Amino acid sequence: MCGIVGYTGHQPAQKIVIESLKKLEYRGYDSSGIATKEDKLVICKKEGPIANMESILPKSSSNLAIAHTRWATHGVPSDTNAHPHTDGDNSVAVVHNGTIDNYLAIRENLEKEGYNFKSESDSEVLPILISKYYAGDLVEALNKTLADIQGIFTIAVIHENHPDEIVAVRHETPLIIGVGNSENFIASDIYAVLKYTQQIVYPEDNQIVRVTPESIELFDFDLKSIDYEVETVEKYTEVAEKGGYEHFMLKEIFEQPKALQDSLTELLVDSPLERLGLNWKIGSISIVACGTSYHAGLVGKYVIEQLTAIPVSVGYSSEFRYAAPVQGVGGLLSSRPLVVLISQSGETADTLAAARSAKQQGCHTIAICNVPGSRITREVDGVIITKSGQEVGVAATKTFLTQMQALYALGVHLAFNSGSLDHPQLKLWESEIRKIPSKITQVLNNSEAIKALVPHFVKAKSAFFIGRNINYPLAMEGALKLKEISYIHAEGYPAGELKHGPLALLSKETPVLAIAMQDHTYSKLVSNIEEVSARSAPVITLCQKGDQQIPKISDSYFELPEIDPVLSPFTVAVFLQLLSYYVAHELGTEIDKPRNLAKSVTVE
């Protein structure tokens, strides 16, 4: 969601925090702001992208600053609702990620005490409470404030009486401390500070942090000092730049062959099962995720069940806690259930809550995640890290493919451990997985042919994506991509379900994209295409190279390189990503930062 950065040190802080904030703009971009310590606190904030705020930013030589990009949860985007928020005297400045659930009651009580509010934001109660409790020690004031508030949050505070001190705390949302040489950093994401340091401290929930240029102190709820470890971030974690591409999304689509290759060592050379200690009988598997990661989970279900015969359920993280207990808990099965949690950021609030629920139920938990050191990697029993590098575009691309690859590898090694695959079959699977990057490269090299399909979609008010078997989840993912970045309504359906209602929506203005791979469902899919054509809807079909039938029954088609149908989701995904990108580009939408969306969803 929102992004937070802060700096205290020996250099001019303004330039550092603005540069760092731009690394996080993809997390929230409806407004931004900065607070620096001059003779007094100086606040500058503005609705819109960071460039809007920069254009009115006064020069500063301050060595202390906090800054923020906002993704609205309370109050419309505006200068007033932007962060930082201050108390009435401008002695305290606060930036905040998350939500204060009981802010209305707090605000009502403070107004009765004579305090005035300027914004619609829940965050404004924070500086007023901190100012109310301040008696010379900012840590104590924040600690007393924590006793009053409920919700999830990362909070960073500066005070006019403390010219080199930032005080911060987290509760179920991310906060990291970057350790420098006579300078230190705070941020809600490691990517904000990697240019300056790879030495990172990860505070736990409700640990209050006091940061000065020369010191980092952590305190528990009783304000007792806590020891901490400084960790070094792995070198492959790099801050992304556009590298000549018009958008981050396009760059990240073209980075997918490398992302898959970089992840192969983690998945194949170092067996995930050996590393995770999955050496017991698994009776059931639950895959839990949100959005695009959920679609990766659905693909994983087909693969794992086909390879192992282990029943796999896939659920949305936001619903997992409210469902019945996972099968196998409480003596239902003698084996221990496995819950696989997928999160690009490792900070997705709903997926974190699902992980905690699974642990409480006695399940074994593993996470598939792209950010080492993120919250979820610290709360599960085992981790598979996808080495995609930073993904800036809000619409997930390369992380989707590496998540699928991780699930394929997991399924293959579960099958080998259970005896469903012998060693030659294991090596054959691994060999085929290694060929995927080159197959994707062939799709990327044929991007001009994908552009030719754009006219079918740019004037549409709605579109359908259909597929069967393992490519039904890809139909859902293709529809999601089109919705996210082009704002065209789209739905992904199992092809056989159109006749149960959605056919009523088809017309000459409703394009249907069909995914027709030559597996055991191919003939049924062909029949579904005929049903669509009979309703006069334009049919654009994705087929395998050399298909003789599809060109005869489609208005347009695109041939994918030859690949085993069970591995086709990888090439299909790249086609769908490029198609959505080119449609959105033709429509002139904000591709990297779609309206109303944010990259890392840290509120439930």
CA 579/CA 596 separation, integer angstroms? 22
Whether 586 shows a pLDDT value over 50: the answer reads: yes
Name the residue with higher pLDDT: 345 or 187. 187
Look at residue 272 in the predicted model and tell me its pLDDT: 57
Of the candidates 211, 88, 228, 77, the residue with the CA atom closest to the CA atom of residue 157: 211
Strands 166-171 and 151-159: antiparallel
Q: Decide: residue 261, CB within 10 A, 0-12 exposed, 13-18 middle, 19+ buried.
A: middle
Confidence of residue 333 (pLDDT cuts 50, 70, 90): very low
CB 62 within 8 A of CB 36: yes
Distance between CA atoms of residues 545 and 469, nearest Å? 19
DSSP string for 389-451: ----SSS--HHHHHHHHHHHHHHHHHHHHHTSS-HHHHHHHHHHHHTHHHHHHHHHTTHHHHH
In the predicted structure, residue 237 carries a pLDDT above the cut 70: no
pLDDT at 572: 98
Asked if residue 403 lies in contact with residue 293, where contact means CB atoms within 8 angstroms, the answer is yes
CA distance 478 to 368: 22
pLDDT above 70 as % of the chain? 93
Q: How far apart are the first and last CA of the chain?
A: 11
CA distance 357 to 218: 28
275: number of CA atoms within 13 Å, CB side? 17
| Closest C-alpha to 131, from 111, 115, 107 | 115
Distance CA 307, CA 566 (A): 11
Cβ-contact 299, 403 below 8 angstroms: no
Q: Is the pLDDT of residue 280 over 70?
A: no
Does residue 160 register a pLDDT over 90?
Answer: yes
Q: Which positions are catalytic?
A: 2, 599
Distance CA 572, CA 565 (A): 10
Confidence of residue 268 (pLDDT cuts 50, 70, 90): low
Which residue in the block uniquely carries the two structure tokens 């139920």?
A: 361
The pLDDT assigned to 601 comes to 54
Helix (H) and strand (E) counts in the chain: 20, 25
Q: Please determine, for residue 324, whether its predicted confidence score (pLDDT) is greater than 80.
A: no
- Dihedral of CA atoms 19, 20, 22, 27 in degrees, nearest 10, equals -170
Kindly state the tokens that stand for 218. Answer: 């952590």
Instruction: Give the separation between CA 251 and CA 236, rounded to whole angstroms.
Output: 17
Domain architecture of the chain: domains with CATH: 3-232 (3.60.20.10), 237-434 (3.40.50.10490), 444-604 (3.40.50.10490)
Q: Is the pLDDT of residue 582 over 60?
A: yes
**Where are the strands (E) in 311-408, listed by range?**
312-316, 338-343, 364-369, 382-385
Give 3-state DSSP helix, strand, coil % of the chain, rounded to 5: 40, 20, 40
Position 28 confidence tier, pLDDT thresholds 50, 70, 90: low
Q: Which of 180, 131, 200 is nearest to 13 (CA)?
A: 180
Scan for tokens 């350790």, then name that residue: 179
- Contact between residue 403 and residue 410 where contact means Cβ atoms under 8 Å apart: no
pLDDT in tens, 82-139: 999 999 899 999 999 989 999 999 999 999 999 999 999 999 999 999 999 999 999 9
For residue range 41-65, what is the model confidence (pLDDT) as tens digits?
999 999 998 999 999 999 999 999 9
Q: What is the mean pLDDT of residues 29-39?
A: 92
pLDDT at residue 503 greater than cutoff 80: yes
Q: Model confidence at 334, in pLDDT bands (50, 70, 90)?
A: very low
26 vs 240: CA distance, rounded Å: 12
Q: Mean of the pLDDT values across residues 304-323?
A: 90
Residue 526 pLDDT class (50, 70, 90 cuts): very high
State yes or no: pLDDT of 241 exceeds 80.
no
Residue 404 has pLDDT above 70, yes or no: yes
**Which of 20-29, 326-335, 590-599 has the least mean pLDDT?**
326-335
Strands 208-211 and 166-171: antiparallel
Band the pLDDT of 598: cuts 50, 70, 90.
Answer: low
What's the longest Cα–Cα distance across the chain? 80
Alpha carbon of 227 to those of 200, 217, 219, 230, 250: distances in Å? Answer: 14, 8, 9, 10, 43
Residues above pLDDT 90, as percent of the chain: 71
Asked if residue 157 has pLDDT above 90, the reply is yes
Which pLDDT score is estimated for 330?
40
Quick check: 4 and 66 in contact, CB under 8 A?
yes
- pLDDT at position 244, please? 84
CB 376 within 8 A of CB 369: yes
Does the pLDDT value for residue 508 go beyond 60? yes
Residue 152 is predicted with a pLDDT of: 87
**Tens-place pLDDT, residues 434-492:** 999 999 999 999 999 999 999 999 999 999 999 999 999 999 999 999 999 999 999 99
- Distance between CA atoms of 437 and 404, rounded to whole angstroms? 13
Average model confidence (pLDDT) across the chain: 90
